[in-house]
Structures are given as structure tokens and as C-alpha cells.
Amino acid sequence: SLDRHLGGGFPAGGVSYISGVADAGKNLLLFKTFAMNQRLYGADSCISYAPTEGPVDYLFMRKCGYKVAIPQENIEQLQQSRKERGAPLLSKEEVKELSTGIGELVLNRAPTLEGVMETSLDLIRSNAFQIVAVDSISAAMPDAEADNEDFTKSTQQGVHAIGLKRFFQHLYPVLAPVEGEVNTTSILFTNQVVSNRKKTEAPSYLQQYIKEWAPAGSNAAKHGQLINLVLWSGAKERETTAGKKVVVGKTVNWETYKGKAGTHDNIVGTYDYLYDESPLRTNSKDLVSAALELGVFVEKHGKFTLTRADGQQHVSLKEIPGWEADRKSTRLNS
């Protein structure tokens, strides 16, 4: 449903932001996007990734469905950890699987904001990458901050805005068609949110209607982005195991603060994030709801009719080959 409301996903030839509070699921959505690119392009998948907040989480990438080759030193650390915990070591077959990737992942390890932006521009200019991602743009440290030895003085906010402004100024000519060639790079930035000053400045009777946070970023970023998708956590998903209710996931809320290239502003929705299952899995309830919204399913007297592209119809979900959903999973919520 998120893909549909974005007009097919994150657009090519421009910048999209995935913003959100801490633990909202920004990396989950970013890596799911990597995984879908890999499924579409196979061995031709080519992605650049700039991790500005810490080391690359290869295992979480794989859990999100993105089959990336884990470096040998990381696998050795994993083996050592399993040994210390008394867990069985990975077999040769498992090590081989973890060492194998599909397509190419190029890491952008420039140490400062300016370096990350300059390298990203070169990658975008090559038009060889389907995705150029920075995680996160708000955490990238400017040169002036890196050279500042006095921790009590911070210049980051001003120079960060200047760095982004210059990036977008240089980006527009890169994305502009030259002699018919169109740049098809999808540029994805994860981004933090900040305290919303408008809430504190608003009259008391209006404050309850204003969110406590707002996406961070300079004016250049606000004008240059095609989509700014904001995420925040919703209700916890629980299951009863051995007589106890256990948290197995959560609902992720999303809203398009800005929408271009196939979508609009202020569209809202949700999706489920289950911790112990592949996040690429879509549950049957979401599929049924989406199919009803699109008119693929028609519900009448508690039965669904499925209309296929070839005109064939099924009067019951149980008659669809391969459908093994039970009554509970196909129930529609009000």
C-alpha cells in the first residue's frame, strides 16, 4: 500500500527523504528498498550506501531481504561471538551463503558531510547506480565541525545547511537531461526529526493538533526533495505464547510531509513490522485490504470475488490455487 501511495515507490532522478524519530524503522524501509531493487535487477543491482552513523549492519540488511556479501572479518567476529556464548559455530555452507551477494554494494566511507556529498555527486553523475543512499544525512559531520577541537563550541547547524545547499545546487545540473540522456538514480537520505518549534509557539488551544516533532533539514533540502516520508512507531503487536503475551512486532505509521513525482502531501498510512520474520513478508490482511481498495477483490455477503487480467473469476478465496489463508487472516477490520 505504501508503494501505491508513493506512485510506485521512491522516484528515480531525484532525492527522497525517509525521516523519523528514533527506532521508527527508517533503516528497515531503506534496506527493504535495497532488497526490492535486488529482486528487480538481480546481478545488475548496483547500490551505493554511505553509513554515517556507525558500522554497516550486514546481518540486518540480510534480515530485510537484501542478500549482501558479508566481509570475512565480520563473519570471523560472528563465529567468535557464537563460540563465547556456547552457540554452535556456523557451518561451511552457512559461511559460504553469508559470503555470497547479488549485484554490487559500494560503500561511501567519506568521513565528513562534504566528502559524502561530493562522492555521492560523482556516483549520481555516473548514472550507473539505481540507488545512492546516505544514512543518515542529519548525522553526517561537516568539515568545520571535524576541525573544531573545542567540544563546547558547535558550528554544525549552520555549516550543515550550507553543505546541503551546495549539494542541491550541484545536483540540479547533474539530473538535468543532456543530449537526451536522463539520469535515473534514486537518491535516498534517512533523516532525523527535531523538536517542532511551531508547537511551542502556537496558542495553547492549537498545540494539541500540532506534532511535537518536525523533519530536520535546511530550506534547500525542503525545496530539493521529491518525497519526504516521515515514520513513527504505533501500537505493539502481541502474540500469546505459553499463556503469556509476547511483543512480536509493531505498527509503523507513515505520512508524506512532501510529495511529488507521483504522490501528494499529507497522505497517511500504516504497515506491520514483525521482528522475528522477514520484514519483506506481507500479511494476508494487508493484501486483501489493498486488493479491495484497487477493485481486484469485490466483497459481497462475506465472499470475495477475484477478477484476473484474463477475465477469469473466482467466487471464493479457497478456490484460488495456492491460497492457504484461514478465516481469521482474511477477516476485514472496520
Q: Which of 267-276, 278-287, 292-301 has the highest mean pLDDT?
A: 267-276
Under the banding of pLDDT at 50, 70 and 90, the label for residue 324 is low
What is the per-residue pLDDT across 47-98, written as a single tens digit (0 to 9) for each?
Answer: 999 999 889 999 999 999 999 999 999 999 999 999 999 999 999 999 999 9
Would you state the pLDDT for residue 252? Answer: 92
Are 49 and 133 in contact, with CB atoms under 8 Å apart? yes
Burial bucket for residue 121 (CB in 10 Å: 0-12, 13-18, 19+):
middle
pLDDT beyond 50 at 152: no
Mean pLDDT of the chain: 81
pLDDT beyond 70 at 164: yes
Under the banding of pLDDT at 50, 70 and 90, the label for residue 194 is confident
Interval 148-175 mean pLDDT: 72
Beta-carbon contacts of 147 under 8 Å, excluding residues fewer than 6 positions away, are none
d(CA 301, CA 303): 6
Would you state the pLDDT for residue 165? Answer: 86
Would you state the pLDDT for residue 151? Answer: 41
Point out which residues pair with 191 in neighbouring strands.
19
Under the banding of pLDDT at 50, 70 and 90, the label for residue 315 is low
d(CA 112, CA 156): 11
Interhelix angle 156-175/113-126, nearest 10 degrees: 10
What is the per-residue pLDDT across 170-189, written as a single tens digit (0 to 9) for each?
Answer: 998 888 876 778 899 999 99
Provide the CA 304 distance to its chain's centre, in angstroms. 32
Q: Which three cell numbers stand for residue 268?
A: 497517511
Would you state the pLDDT for residue 285? Answer: 61
Q: Which three cell numbers stand for residue 16?
A: 527522497
Interval 295-299 mean pLDDT: 73
d(CA 233, CA 26): 11
pTM over 0.85: no
Under the banding of pLDDT at 50, 70 and 90, the label for residue 150 is very low
d(CA 38, CA 171): 25
What is the per-residue pLDDT across 201-216, written as a single tens digit (0 to 9) for each?
Answer: 788 777 777 777 777 7
Burial bucket for residue 170 (CB in 10 Å: 0-12, 13-18, 19+):
middle
Are 32 and 278 in contact, with CB atoms under 8 Å apart? no
Interval 234-245 mean pLDDT: 85
DSSP secondary structure letters along 14-71: EEEEEEESTTSSHHHHHHHHHHHHHHHHGGG-EEEEEE-SSS--HHHHHHTT---PPP
Q: Which residue has the higher pLDDT, 113 or 61?
A: 61
Nearest-CA neighbor of 272 among 299, 290, 258, 297? 290
Would you state the pLDDT for residue 218? Answer: 64
Are 133 and 113 in contact, with CB atoms under 8 Å apart? no
Residue 309 half-sphere exposure, CB side, CA atoms within 13 Å?
Answer: 0
Would you state the pLDDT for residue 286? Answer: 63
Q: Which residue has the higher pLDDT, 225 or 291?
A: 225
Residue 257 half-sphere exposure, CB side, CA atoms within 13 Å?
Answer: 23
Would you state the pLDDT for residue 323? Answer: 53
Under the banding of pLDDT at 50, 70 and 90, the label for residue 333 is very low
Are 25 and 273 in contact, with CB atoms under 8 Å apart? yes
Residue 288 half-sphere exposure, CB side, CA atoms within 13 Å?
Answer: 20
CA distances from 216 to 36, 57, 189, 230, 330 (A): 27, 24, 12, 11, 40
Would you state the pLDDT for residue 327? Answer: 42
